Chain A
Amino acid sequence: MSPLNLDPKQPKKSPWKSLEELSGSPEFQDFASHEFPEGADTLGADISRRRFLQVMGAGMAFAGVTGLSGCKGIRRPEQNILPYNKMPESMVPGVPQFYATTHVLAGEAVGLLVEAHEGRPTKVEGNPSHPASRGGTSKQHQATILDLYNPERAQIPTKGGAVSSWDAYWGEANPVFENLRQSGGEGLRFLSGANASPSFRAVRDHAMTVYPKAKWVTYESIPRDNAATALHAITGQAAEPLYHFDKASRILSIDCDFLESEPFHLAYARDFASKRNPDGGAESMSRLYVVESGFTVTGGAADHRLRVKPGSVAQVLLLVARALKAKGLNVPDFGTDLGAIPGNAEGISAAWIQALADDLLKHRGTSVIAVGRYQPPAVHAIGQSLNAALGNLGTTVDWKVSPLHALNASDLAAAPENGLESLRGLAADLEAGRVTALVVLDTNPAYASTADLAFGAKVPKATFSVSLGGDLDETGAVCTWHVPMSHFLETWSDGVALDGTTSIAQPLIAPLYDTLDAGEFLAKLSGYSVTTGHEIVKTYWASRNSGLAFEKSWRQWLHDGIVTVGGASNASFSNAAGVAALARTLSAPTQDIELIFRGDARILDGRFANNAWLQELPDPVTKLTWDNALLIGPVLAKKLGVSEMLLNKDSTGTTLADYRKRPMVRVTVNGHSLEVAAWVMPGMADETALLHLGFGRVQVGKVGDEAGFNAYTLMSSASPFHATGVKIEKIDRLYSLACTQDHWSLMGRPIVRTGDLEEYLHDPKEYASEERWNEHPNEQSLWSDKARGTYDFTQGMQWGMVIDLNSCTGCNACLIACQAENNIPTVGKEQVLRGREMHWLRLDRYFTGNVEDPQLEFQPMGCQQCENAPCEEVCPVGATVHSHEGLNDMVYNRCIGTRYCSNNCPFKVRRFNFFNYNNKYTETEQMRMNPDVTVRFRGVMEKCTYCVQRVQRARIEAKNAGREIIADGAITPACGQSCPSNSIVFGNINDPASRVAKLKSHPRNYGLLKELNLKPRTSYLARVRNPNPALAAQEKA
């Protein structure tokens, strides 16, 4: 309700705008009652026919003009600003609020803090007190905001694709379920993804009592149960390994991408980073050995990386076991004859195995053998047995028996169901017509399952089927009904993390549409005692924690995001025979080309395929956007005749129009074939190809449809993630792949400074110094800073940043956090191909060394905030200027878009709005914008601001608290806040006690392009690798 009363009949309490109005003369009243002056708004009674037609004609013309879609900007849209009728508690307009919640992704619960502006969630941060987050977030967490406001979300129940209603749905479903209730649920099948919610499990248990003959199938396309299956065989308990990399001085990763794609990876990244500090001497820094076939960020972090064919990964572990046994370690009997393994298979150096085994033995109790989720249970079992034999159990490795594993199991004592096995059973039941009703809860097997199951084609054989999901996806399209599901930010739930920590998920916003979450839907379906999400969760926890104190603890749990009841215990090694049984299932390595499938680093198994932030996010290693591609090593590429795009020579022999077009290949495996673009990936194992999942969807939305190639069509359920007998042939077609970084070589430039621990300890001061790295003498300014008229940077608060290249894993979470915080638009594949991606922060990736077996270097690259900023000098209109606190500020309103600043930026970190990328948002999409950051119009330059809005917020808070100086740590830019490994430190470099100032004086600290006299405020800590001296000598030779 507006405070201004404009009704002329009311007494004049409102402000008056003229004396005539105040006096209330009848002439004025008459005048004021007309919106427009005399004659402007009336035709008059005596209008002639001719005049009437003239006016009508003109009116039609104007209506046509304003009605043109392109001309909508001519009139400002009518908008109402309404104050709160009743002010929500503790809300101050303009001041964001943070609430703790939990995100459960494929059964992995991570505690989050979500920022809300006036009730709109706008930004996701990690919950520092949640052990799975510790303040860090993943790319997917950051990107969930975009999904919430996605206008393509499922908003209403549909039947056969036609819009329907909940009433119609229940009208049709209730009799079906009433019948099923009579029959005890005969022929009823529930299909869900992995569950981490105890309250949901309670609803599920209730449903299974109502429908006792029903079957519950749990399916996740990216496997997590291999480790649990192995540990169940070893320990007899449902357990999963939890590693403590902060205590591990030697780590062997067997195809385990624990820095990016394993459960608990955020905590692992932080733990790992904490043991990578080279200052404590040779023994305090951990050493990471990685055995893998593809190239992951964990492989990039390795001190020694052994690339082997997928089929030989297990063999490496067995060789290590044999070497350990030979050194006298009490390795359990695996049942396989270790001696019979070929000693030196292709690519596996005996010396490498020997040195590794020696190192592990020397660090008994402080080493870790981590096995990746795609490895079969046998490899997990052997790896975990070795952990036990090395005495790592209880120190660096725990076999956690947490409530989590019970949540997905039909029988609490059993191991978690094998997802694919049970899906296969369901498919058989469907095929045989044994299913009368199928209820799919937030999973999409019609797309994300192996080709031979042809699950999507079998769903219609169920008499009644319904799919609950956030998108009308492939499964929703084949079910009778698709019903919309609430986003997690609209949902009450809870989740158990790997270590047994439970946290509550509270909604940040009421459902935008008429949607239900999985618990509510199942509760309605089964007649659960309560049906709202809030009640389901709260009654569950009340039942776990009855008593008067419950309400108090409940509030505390909601506030902290952590539930204080429950917990986990550890299992111990009890059954060597179980290992032997599993080990016998290992197959021998093959000689032919092998193909592996992995979840994509961004869109995972495809569930985020319609998320434009994640689609446009460059893959951490390949830097591809909007697509996947068949990754092959240089050797195989040469063999297949597709290597011409290698080594930065991609334009040779191609015309301009063909630039960035890549050859395509036909992959044939398991009787299925797929035509896919090939991408040469240095560091891949020879004779190995890798294809990421999640792309090539057909029913997801404008963003995800037709992006990339559907890897599932090549998978077979017998061995889903590893195929042998693969045929790859070049076909006569080209495909455009949008890569954000075409050049992978450092060109011998001192940009990423890296070396060995030995060198560092020998002379830390020399290690990253200009003298060592830079032949060219530094340029000297002819002018003093004072003469140039710059601010005195020795006074007041001066902002600076240090990025530790030693702990940065290259995961890209910072990049998407920046995108969410700063309202950065996505531009689409075509624009990325043109080199116009808008990310303010890049994650530069370089390969060093041999192209077949290179090392990987990462370097986050945003605006360096140079004190002598080249961009500022050349802007003709002064649209980029320095602040007295050392920030290189952009004045969007002043920018005319000459782009000179970008040209003169030595780092090329400025981004230009070549088109109006921001004018097509729907009303819901506009809700996701951070109100503290300007949304940029076309034609202006933009770039990293060090999150100046956060600096200002901290300044206001400090001033309100009566302080002039902002405390160290009060400001964290979005990139630094999301960083799982805490690699980005920001603060006042003038305060010698601040973290950033201390790091700036660290010997590993260096600034880029120092010879240009730029004085960048962002500096880097040089990377230190810790190679095994025994192997380093050998590698040098």
Chain B
Amino acid sequence: MIPHRDDDPTKRPVLVESSDFHEVTEIIAAPTETKLNTTWILLLMLSGSFLCLMVGLFGYLFWEGTGIWGVNVPVAWGFAIVNFIWWIGIGHAGTLISAILFLFRQKWRTGINRFSEAMTIFAVMCAGVFPAFHVGRIWVVYYIFPLPNQMAAWPNTRSPLFWDVFAISTYFTVSLLFWYMGLIPDLATLRDRANTKVRKFVLSVFALGWRGAARHWQNYERAYLILAAISTPLVLSVHSIVSFDFATSKIPGWHTTIFPPYFVAGAVFSGFALVSTLLIVAREVFGFKKVVRLHHIENMNKFMLLTGTLVGYAYAMEIFVAWYSGNIYERYAFWNRALGEYWWSYWAMITCNVISPQFFWFRWVRRNLIFTFILTIFINIGMWFERFVIVITLHADFLPSSWGYYRPTWVDWWTYIGTFGMFFSFFLLFLKFLPQLAIAEVKGVMPEASPHFHSHDSSNSSNSRH
């Protein structure tokens, strides 16, 4: 049997710049155990006020009607759906990192999985508010659920929006479970370190009596594997189904079979970008440099290079197929995207999504935090524009007589900005009250975790402590 390189700790990349379990625990647990920091409070107040703004604007929407947004006929979907898809896309990195990379035994994922899973959950929450609130009659939005009722009304199972409901709720549920399950051993660690009664009590409740027994670990590993197997198809399905909103329609520029893979690639692309953006800041602020190393950042940048190139290929293929199909409506839709009234959004998308990730071909760019940070911001903007370009394709479809123009209102803008408030409010709370990295998992990828570590240890000059 050929030994796997992972079997030899000396040959695998150093994922944690520490050889001390205790130090790892200290690093990760510290932010949750220190006093509230003024900057954190100010940031929470800032994001909280944006959250309040969002709530207020949804209240306004509820009171006044969808007309306060810029939507019209023909562009009956505007910012709400653009933002929805954007947030959902961002929510893709978490599951990919947790599930697919787990199944592929990509151990470097342990440095970022907790963080990105949390991000996924909050991003899906931000996404979810849009489809719920963008409908005209919010008070009967429950008609979309298959609830038996005396009116004998039943959802239309042919509608992609109905599929969306299930895709997103399933994704949210599984992501939340996955996240929570991964948290259990770490919550137990925090519980054991807790020094106040309340803290101990709360953490005990959520740690579900975890004692770190071998039997616990055995069940845990099995459950983790099962959830990973369940989540893996979800990574592909959620955005595929979201793309069906467009792909199953009749509208030129929407009605294309390339959408599912292209949406998934785009989602992973934007998800990794936002994880990178936030992680680069967090590792500086919270001092995780030993656990989240340049190696992690570089790996994520490779993902962005791959998915960004896939997305670029999809853009090119869309244009080719539009030309090749000979369909005049399809051809015009793409001509119009690039050269029509919204040309600026198309070229913003191309610049940000296709050109900017190409810098990641260079190793020094991949390993340069400032460059990476700037490029991830570009990618996030670009992916927003991609969704904008797609949705706005509505403005010029079959009959030129019906063509119109979409212009967002101030409410559109501030609602979008408000969702950042929601995202960051939750995220700041997470940063403060939960272990930002998976303590147990990080320890698992340290050389010391290897059962053969000590046999190596005798021949090595490593000076590890227990």
A residues near B (Cβ < 8 Å) are 70, 651, 656, 659-660, 741-749, 751, 775-776, 831, 834-836, 842, 844-846, 859, 861, 870, 872-878, 894-900, 902-904, 906-916, 937-941, 1008-1009, 1012
Q: Distance in Å from the Cβ of A1023 to the closest Cβ of chain B?
A: 16
Query: Given the known A-B contacts A831-B67, A915-B64, are A895 and B159 also in contact in the complex, defined by CB atoms under 8 Å?
Result: no
Which residue on chain B has the smallest CB distance to residue A940?
B136
Closest A-B pairs by Cβ, 10 of them: A897-B136, A939-B136, A914-B67, A835-B72, A908-B402, A844-B401, A899-B76, A939-B137, A876-B161, A876-B159
Query: Given the known A-B contacts A846-B401, A894-B143, A904-B251, are A876 and B162 also in contact in the complex, defined by CB atoms under 8 Å?
Result: yes
* B156, A876: Cβ atoms closer than 8 Å: yes
* B400, A878: Cβ atoms closer than 8 Å: no
By a CB distance below 8 angstroms, the chain A residues around B73 are 835-836, 902, 908, 910-912
* B158 at the binding interface (Cβ < 8 Å): yes
B:75-131 near A, CB below 8 Å: 75-77
Apart from A659-B405, A899-B136, A902-B76, 10 more pairs, CB < 8 Å: A776-B328, A835-B73, A835-B405, A844-B399, A894-B151, A914-B67, A938-B67, A939-B65, A940-B136, A940-B137
A651–B63 Cα distance when bound, in Å, is 33
* B9 at the binding interface (Cβ < 8 Å): no
By a CB distance below 8 angstroms, the chain B residues around A835 are 72-75, 404-406
A395–B304 Cα distance when bound, in Å, is 82
- Ordered by A's residue number, 6 sampled pairs between the chains whose C-beta atoms are within 8 Å are A742-B403, A746-B400, A749-B328, A751-B400, A875-B156, A903-B77
Query: Given the known A-B contacts A776-B328, A912-B136, are A902 and B159 also in contact in the complex, defined by CB atoms under 8 Å?
Result: no
By a CB distance below 8 angstroms, the chain B residues around A902 are 73-74, 76
* B328, A748: Cβ atoms closer than 8 Å: yes
Query: Given the known A-B contacts A836-B73, A874-B249, are A939 and B328 also in contact in the complex, defined by CB atoms under 8 Å?
Result: no
* A906, B397: Cβ atoms closer than 8 Å: yes
A870–B328 Cα distance when bound, in Å, is 20
Which residue on chain A has the smallest CB distance to residue B74?
A908
Q: Mark B223-267, 1 if CB is under 8 A from A, else 0.
A: 000000000000000000000010011110000000000000000
Query: Given the known A-B contacts A873-B159, A896-B140, are A656 and B400 also in contact in the complex, defined by CB atoms under 8 Å?
Result: no
* A907, B404: Cβ atoms closer than 8 Å: no
* B31 at the binding interface (Cβ < 8 Å): no
* A904, B249: Cβ atoms closer than 8 Å: yes
Query: Given the known A-B contacts A835-B74, A914-B66, are A876 and B328 also in contact in the complex, defined by CB atoms under 8 Å?
Result: no
Which residue on chain B has the smallest CB distance to residue A874?
B159
* B373 at the binding interface (Cβ < 8 Å): no
* B71, A899: Cβ atoms closer than 8 Å: yes
By a CB distance below 8 angstroms, the chain A residues around B154 are 878
Which residue on chain B has the smallest CB distance to residue A892?
B137
By a CB distance below 8 angstroms, the chain B residues around A906 are 250-251, 397-399
* A938, B134: Cβ atoms closer than 8 Å: no
* B341 at the binding interface (Cβ < 8 Å): yes
Query: Given the known A-B contacts A877-B153, A907-B399, A1012-B250, are A896 and B65 also in contact in the complex, defined by CB atoms under 8 Å?
Result: no
A872–B159 Cα distance when bound, in Å, is 9
The tally of residues in B whose CB lies under 8 Å from a CB in A reads 57
Q: Mark B139-155, 1 if CB is under 8 A from A, else 0.
A: 01101100000010111
A946–B464 Cα distance when bound, in Å, is 83
Which residue on chain B has the smallest CB distance to residue A652?
B341
Q: Distance in Å from the Cβ of B13 to the closest Cβ of chain A?
A: 48
By a CB distance below 8 angstroms, the chain A residues around B151 are 894
By a CB distance below 8 angstroms, the chain A residues around B399 are 749, 751, 844, 861, 906-908, 1008
By a CB distance below 8 angstroms, the chain B residues around A751 are 398-400
Q: Distance in Å from the Cβ of B150 to the closest Cβ of chain A?
A: 13
By a CB distance below 8 angstroms, the chain A residues around B162 are 876
A149–B313 Cα distance when bound, in Å, is 61
* B327 at the binding interface (Cβ < 8 Å): yes
A-B contact count (CB 8 A): 185
Which residue on chain A has the smallest CB distance to residue B332?
A747
* B155, A912: Cβ atoms closer than 8 Å: no
* B326 at the binding interface (Cβ < 8 Å): yes
A424–B154 Cα distance when bound, in Å, is 71
Query: Given the known A-B contacts A835-B73, A912-B73, A939-B65, are A900 and B401 also in contact in the complex, defined by CB atoms under 8 Å?
Result: no
By a CB distance below 8 angstroms, the chain A residues around B65 are 913-916, 938-939
A844–B399 Cα distance when bound, in Å, is 9
By a CB distance below 8 angstroms, the chain A residues around B275 are none
Query: Given the known A-B contacts A749-B328, A874-B248, A876-B162, are A741 and B405 also in contact in the complex, defined by CB atoms under 8 Å?
Result: no
Q: Mark B401-417, 1 if CB is under 8 A from A, else 0.
A: 11111110000000000
A873–B135 Cα distance when bound, in Å, is 18
Checking A659, A878, A914 against B71 with a beta-carbon cut-off of 8 angstroms, the contacting residue is A914
* A1009, B398: Cβ atoms closer than 8 Å: yes
* A907, B76: Cβ atoms closer than 8 Å: no
* A743, B400: Cβ atoms closer than 8 Å: yes
* B64, A896: Cβ atoms closer than 8 Å: no
Q: Distance in Å from the Cβ of B346 to the closest Cβ of chain A?
A: 14
By a CB distance below 8 angstroms, the chain A residues around B144 are 876-877, 896
By a CB distance below 8 angstroms, the chain B residues around A1009 are 398
By a CB distance below 8 angstroms, the chain B residues around A741 are 401
Which residue on chain B has the smallest CB distance to residue A623?
B401
Q: Distance in Å from the Cβ of A72 to the closest Cβ of chain B?
A: 14
By a CB distance below 8 angstroms, the chain A residues around B326 are 775-776
* B250, A904: Cβ atoms closer than 8 Å: yes
By a CB distance below 8 angstroms, the chain B residues around A749 are 328-329, 398-400
* B67, A915: Cβ atoms closer than 8 Å: yes
* B280 at the binding interface (Cβ < 8 Å): no
Which residue on chain B has the smallest CB distance to residue A909?
B402
* B401, A861: Cβ atoms closer than 8 Å: yes
By a CB distance below 8 angstroms, the chain A residues around B245 are 900
By a CB distance below 8 angstroms, the chain A residues around B153 are 877-878, 894
Q: Distance in Å from the Cβ of A659 to the closest Cβ of chain B?
A: 6
Q: Distance in Å from the Cβ of B126 to the closest Cβ of chain A?
A: 19
Q: Distance in Å from the Cβ of B69 to the closest Cβ of chain A?
A: 8
Q: Distance in Å from the Cβ of B354 to the closest Cβ of chain A?
A: 25
B:140-196 near A, CB below 8 Å: 140-141, 143-144, 151, 153-156, 158-162, 165
A861–B160 Cα distance when bound, in Å, is 27
A915–B64 Cα distance when bound, in Å, is 7
A877–B141 Cα distance when bound, in Å, is 9
* A899, B407: Cβ atoms closer than 8 Å: no
A914–B73 Cα distance when bound, in Å, is 10
Which residue on chain B has the smallest CB distance to residue A902?
B76
Q: Distance in Å from the Cβ of A1007 to the closest Cβ of chain B?
A: 13
* A908, B397: Cβ atoms closer than 8 Å: yes
Checking B63, B76, B400, B402 against A912 with a beta-carbon cut-off of 8 angstroms, the contacting residue is B76
By a CB distance below 8 angstroms, the chain B residues around A940 are 136-137
By a CB distance below 8 angstroms, the chain B residues around A861 are 399, 401-402
Q: Distance in Å from the Cβ of A38 to the closest Cβ of chain B?
A: 34
Q: Which of A659, A660, A876, A912 has the most CB of B within 10 A?
A: A876
A620–B171 Cα distance when bound, in Å, is 52
Which residue on chain B has the smallest CB distance to residue A845?
B401
* B156, A877: Cβ atoms closer than 8 Å: yes
By a CB distance below 8 angstroms, the chain A residues around B327 are 776
Which residue on chain A has the smallest CB distance to residue B400?
A743
A129–B159 Cα distance when bound, in Å, is 50
* A903, B251: Cβ atoms closer than 8 Å: yes
* B156, A878: Cβ atoms closer than 8 Å: yes
A656–B408 Cα distance when bound, in Å, is 10
* A742, B404: Cβ atoms closer than 8 Å: yes
A939–B62 Cα distance when bound, in Å, is 10
Q: Distance in Å from the Cβ of A353 to the closest Cβ of chain B?
A: 35
By a CB distance below 8 angstroms, the chain A residues around B401 are 741, 743, 842, 844-846, 859, 861
Q: Mark B52-71, 1 if CB is under 8 A from A, else 0.
A: 00000000000111110011
Q: Which of B65, B70, B74, B144 has the most CB of A within 10 A?
A: B65
Which residue on chain B has the smallest CB distance to residue A891?
B153
* B405, A907: Cβ atoms closer than 8 Å: no
By a CB distance below 8 angstroms, the chain A residues around B248 are 873-874
Checking A70, A743, A938 against B403 with a beta-carbon cut-off of 8 angstroms, the contacting residue is A743
A834–B406 Cα distance when bound, in Å, is 8
